[in-house]
Structure 1
Amino acid sequence: MASSSTTTAHTANRVTPGAASRTAALPASTGALASDRWDGAWTAAIMRPSGSPWFPTWAERGFEDQSVRQVIRVNTGGSKLRIRLSNAYGDSPLRLAGAGVGRAAGGAAVRPGTIRTLRFAGSVSATVPARGGIVSDPITFPTDPRERLAITLYFKDATGPASYHQVSMTTSYRAGGDHHRDAAPTAFTESVEPGFGSWYYLEGVEVADAGPRPDAVVTFGDSITDGFGATVDGDDRWPDVLAERLLRAGRVRPVLNAGIGSNKLLTDSACGGDAGVSRFARDVLEQPRAGTAIVLIGINDIQLGDDRMCGVDSDDPPVTAERLIAGHRTLIRAAHARGVRAVGATLLPWGGSANWTADGEAIRDEVNGWIRTGGEYDAVTDFDRALDPEGTGRLPDGLHMGDHLHPSPAGYRAMAEAIDLDSLT
């Protein structure tokens, strides 16, 4: 298990953050074929390391002589697999000493006999450049849609603060020393509790198979898309339920979740990620074979007029419906320039939530009216009316997690069931 110490580190299959090369076939020396068509099976929108205002994470300190096991669920299958790692917010190169993938067996356990070593330009170790990313060599590893995988990264040297994705709603596990080849969960005694989990450095999982495949649906937004309020380790966010609907309908296609909790459309946040207008290209348009984007974003611009929850004493520029609509138009133009279909989703009711104001509600109503009738999105998903058909301005009890803002698992299912599958093509 310590074999990584005998191999010189390499900067392997280097890509810059959001580079178009993430979708291209790797050089033949890595085992990829020019005919391979890579699809995104899973993604996480990467954020700068920060202290979470809600719960502890491992991002600020990073890792040293530790193995990190992260569980994900792929939304499409294939016969080959590779992963993407991101050091997008790192100030120095990240040294990876070992990595492996296996079939998750519950908690930190991996099904015996399924762990495969991941290599980078032929090496078991790699260096991820500062502000950049790398792609692993392809391996033969058949996967089915909605299968859960465990990906384990071993960092021998101190990483410093970690580029990560907070609020994964999935538990990640940590062990002292090199355990990236362990199927047993015994060494993985640490997880961040209490909390909702995070993913570290892991930006994507891609699969390849022979024959034509449908393009990906990328869901873009804030914590409501990220899944805050869903069941921890339950994979019942609305993008998950959408993937299940497509699977049942025999219309399997990748569904990639590019939500970030507390994210805003117009303004960067120290703990809520880069502004939507800034990160849309990286997190949506440069996903492998992105075909449709479902856009649900703007409520945090309305309800959070500053960044003080992140410990930053600064005010955002005043938010108006006109500015939010202009931001949505920026996303639509960017999507259309890349041949991506843009589906607009109306902002959910938020009456009764802590930051509700009458002025903010007027802005939400105006933005929703434009999304419905403006004719600029290629299609519309009316989450507002689906969850609040009577127009009360409030999420019904049972459809929110208790804060009148974030849906419950039942609310997320209602959102996914409201999407017209034909609107995605």
Structure 2
Amino acid sequence: MNLVSKALLLALPLSLTSLPAAAQPDDRWAAGWVSAVQHPSANEWISSWAQQGFADQSVRQVVRVGAEGSRLRLRLSNIYGKTPLKLTGASIGKTAKGASVRPETLRPLRFRGAAGVTIPAGGRVAADPVTLPVEAREHVTVTLYFKGATGPATNHHLAAATSFRATGDRLRDPGAGAFSDKSTSWYFLEGLDVSGRSSTKRDTVVAFGDSITDGLGSTVDADRRYPDVLADRLARRSLTVLNSGIGGNRILNDSACFGEAATARFQRDVLDQPRVRTVIAMGGINDIMHGEMAPSQCTVPRPKMTADALIKGYRALIRAARADDIEIIGGTIPPFKGSPVYNEYGEGVRDTVNTWIRTGGEFDGVADFDRALADPADPDRLRPDFDSGDHLHLSDGGYRAMAEAVDLDELSR
């Protein structure tokens, strides 16, 4: 069995038995926000509380909901936990500013009627639905309280959003004063679903990829990642955009720091999400670069990457999407000349893969991020005003250019 086939077979599907008891017939759940979760790791490149976990602490996290609705359902994950996770309590409310919550919107969350829940190692659960009307692209704040020690936390490293931590139980505290510790990762959050919409059609677009999809280099707390800007562009077409990017993620190989391979997580992070109609798949630059880097806990395994291997990986994603009747758009790999691991070999792999994405006819559409971001004076480089400074990741303007390179008609036809 080849690597790609094995990875797809090992993908982790969402267990519907972990969701609350029987939904009512009029429930029309849609994913309003998701986080592509990762192993906890001692990644020296990212400031995170994941490795140490939490004990007698409240963790407050802000997310932007992509779809309107009248009720919410929080999904939590302990997929990478080695022991059961004991959540003492949780609450949700509309964001005021920073760590503060609008008091009149603060709602306790329950789990099959109980204030807390124990999530088994490797498990996932959903809270009971709570009534809290939200508008599309409105921010809500989730607070989780852990009385006992959690151990290392299933998380998402590169949130491009601030999370807050306080000592003790702050579930009902709308203020920000106690939340003096800050991080730019999310912890245990896997998704937030919405219901109460009039339509039941497939209306969700998933942006799937690596740190460029994740938004590394964008302004923190400003919602300027390319999927955010794409969601703004699609607002009048009533489509929701989910961001399933993971910084450092690769198409073909797992990483102790940067998540399971794209082929392994595609089931959970795309196909298992409700009402998905289209996925925009982009990646490969980390497969290319890690093959040229010194071995470390984050980069191994690190085979020298070939265009043929990456194309096989993309074909596995295409087959998986088509099997679920989901359209798949191929995103070309942006320029990276000037970055520390650039070389002519890697550039040749990128060029070959991009040519196949554009002309191979295997995707349902193409988002040509490469051409949208390239410097006209040197197409192997990012345009200077689109460069965050490392010649690989983008500025806010670069992420806007990415979003504008997506043909909206291909997403809403």
Query: Does the TM-score normalized on the shorter chain lie above 0.5?
Result: yes
* In 2, Cα distance between equivalents of 1:128 and 1:158: 14
Q: Which amino acid aligns with 1:21?
A: L
SS of the residue corresponding to residue 113 of structure 1 reads: helix
Show CA shifts across 1:11-53 (max 9, x none). xxxxx9532528x98424xxx4122111111001000000122
Q: Which moved more, 1:307-316 or 1:268-277?
A: 307-316
Aligned to 2:232: 244
Q: Indicate if the aligned counterparts of 2:203 and 2:238 stay in contact, CA closer than 8 A.
A: no
Task: Compute the displacement of 1:211 (Å).
Answer: 2.2
* In 2, Cα distance between equivalents of 1:98 and 1:310: 38
Task: Compute the displacement of 1:256 (Å).
Answer: 0.6
Q: Which amino acid aligns with 2:139?
A: R
Aligned to 1:297: 283
Counterpart of 1:218 (choices 194, 206, 213) is 206
Task: Compute the displacement of 1:181 (Å).
Answer: 1.2
Aligned to 1:412: 399
SS of the residue corresponding to residue 329 of structure 1 reads: helix
Task: Compute the displacement of 1:140 (Å).
Answer: 1.1
Counterpart of 1:328 (choices 301, 314, 321) is 314
Show CA shifts across 1:234-282 (max 9, x none). 11000000000011xx112211100000000011111011011111111
TM-score (structure 1 length as normaliser):
0.91
SS of the residue corresponding to residue 328 of structure 2 reads: strand
Task: Compute the displacement of 1:317 (Å).
Answer: 2.2
Task: Compute the displacement of 1:363 (Å).
Answer: 0.3
Aligned to 1:175: 166
Tell me the matched-pair count.
400
Alpha-carbon spacing, 1:215–1:350, altered in 2? closer, same or farther (3 Å): same
Show CA shifts across 1:187-234 (max 9, x none). 111113xxxx00000010000114214421001000000000010111
Counterpart of 1:235 (choices 206, 210, 223) is 223
Note the residue ranges of structure 2 that are not aligned, 5 or more in a row.
1-10
Counterpart of 1:103 (choices 89, 94, 98) is 94
* In 2, Cα distance between equivalents of 1:373 and 1:307: 30
SS of the residue corresponding to residue 181 of structure 1 reads: coil
1:201 and 2:191 aligned: no
1:27 and 2:14 aligned: no
1:392 and 2:379 aligned: yes
Q: Indicate if the aligned counterparts of 1:25 and 1:36 stay in contact, CA closer than 8 A.
A: no
1:402 and 2:396 aligned: no
Q: Indicate if the aligned counterparts of 2:288 and 2:304 stay in contact, CA closer than 8 A.
A: no
1:122 and 2:122 aligned: no
Q: Indicate if the aligned counterparts of 1:25 and 1:37 stay in contact, CA closer than 8 A.
A: no
Q: Which amino acid aligns with 2:111?
A: F
Aligned to 1:376: 362
Task: Compute the displacement of 1:54 (Å).
Answer: 1.2
* In 2, Cα distance between equivalents of 1:305 and 1:104: 42
SS of the residue corresponding to residue 331 of structure 1 reads: helix
Task: Compute the displacement of 1:307 (Å).
Answer: 7.8
CA-atom RMSD in angstroms: 1.7
Task: Compute the displacement of 1:91 (Å).
Answer: 1.1
Q: Which amino acid aligns with 1:199?
A: W
Show CA shifts across 1:352-392 (max 9, x none). 11110000000000000000000000010101111127362
Q: Indicate if the aligned counterparts of 1:101 and 1:115 stay in contact, CA closer than 8 A.
A: yes
Q: Indicate if the aligned counterparts of 2:21 and 2:112 stay in contact, CA closer than 8 A.
A: no
* In 2, Cα distance between equivalents of 1:246 and 1:34: 29
Alpha-carbon spacing, 1:201–1:308, altered in 2? closer, same or farther (3 Å): farther
Task: Compute the displacement of 1:65 (Å).
Answer: 0.5
TM-score (structure 2 length as normaliser):
0.94
Q: Which amino acid aligns with 1:259?
A: G
Q: Which moved more, 1:51-60 or 1:227-236?
A: 51-60
Counterpart of 1:143 (choices 116, 126, 134) is 134
Aligned to 2:3: none
Aligned to 1:13: none
Aligned to 2:5: none
Q: Indicate if the aligned counterparts of 1:63 and 1:159 stay in contact, CA closer than 8 A.
A: yes
Alpha-carbon spacing, 1:262–1:210, altered in 2? closer, same or farther (3 Å): closer
Q: Indicate if the aligned counterparts of 1:86 and 1:132 stay in contact, CA closer than 8 A.
A: yes
